[in-house]
Amino acid sequence: MKFTILYMTAFMLVILSFLLILQSRPSPEAIISGEWAEVSWKYEKINATDNLDFKNYDSEQVKNLLGKDLVIYEAEKWEFLPDGKLKLIGGETIRIADWRIKGRGHILQIRYLDGLQENYNIFHLKHRKMVLNFDADAKVRGIGQLTFTRI
């Protein structure tokens, strides 16, 4: 009986603290909602044998190398709407897609209307700053990194 009470108390405490933390912290879905401006593109890592001196590349050069095959290439502003829609705004062009967050809140999945799907690893997500990583295999294999700031 004593052990049953001890076990029950321990389990209840674990579950309660787990729920308390979940309730007190905003979910990644809540944090990401709103407008974000693209700040920089860079190579986080690169295949060493490709001999690319990527550290000296500026953001625009990296964007041209990495992003040309990506739909987000032209977007300078990203607006995450609460209904799961994403507005990719680049100059006069606005492209609509669906966004979802997966896993433990570490994957941003973007689905375009033509059925194309892109997955980004959420490396950092706070109220003011967002950093997305993605596998890059255009021209040079590596990990690309996109940084945003909230508008």
Evaluated on CA atoms 109, 67, 89, 30, the torsion sign reads positive
DSSP H helical segments within the chain, as ranges?
2-24, 28-32, 59-66
Give 47-85 as a DSSP string: -GGG---GGG--HHHHHHHHSTTSGGGG-SEEEE-TTSE
Window 33 to 92, contacts with other proteins (CB under 8 A): 84
Least distance to other proteins from the beta carbon of 144, Å? 19
Single-letter amino acid, residue 31: I
Please tell me whether residue 105 binds other proteins under the rule CB under 8 A.
yes
Which lies closer to other proteins via its Cβ, residue 22 or residue 113? 22
Among 18, 37, 60, 96, binds other proteins (CB under 8 A): 18
Q: How far is CA 80 from the centre of its chain?
A: 11
Among 77, 106, 141, 150, binds other proteins (CB under 8 A): 106
Please tell me whether residue 29 binds other proteins under the rule CB under 8 A.
yes
d(CA 136, CA 47) in angstroms, rounded, equals: 10
Please tell me whether residue 101 binds other proteins under the rule CB under 8 A.
yes
Choose the binding region for other proteins from 39-47, 62-70, 94-102, 139-147 (rule: CB under 8 A): 94-102
Least distance to other proteins from the beta carbon of 151, Å? 23
What are the distances in angstroms from CA 1 to CA 8, 15, 101, 102? 10, 21, 44, 42
Which lies closer to other proteins via its Cβ, residue 62 or residue 108? 108
Please tell me whether residue 128 binds other proteins under the rule CB under 8 A.
no
Please tell me whether residue 102 binds other proteins under the rule CB under 8 A.
yes
Least distance to other proteins from the beta carbon of 70, Å? 19
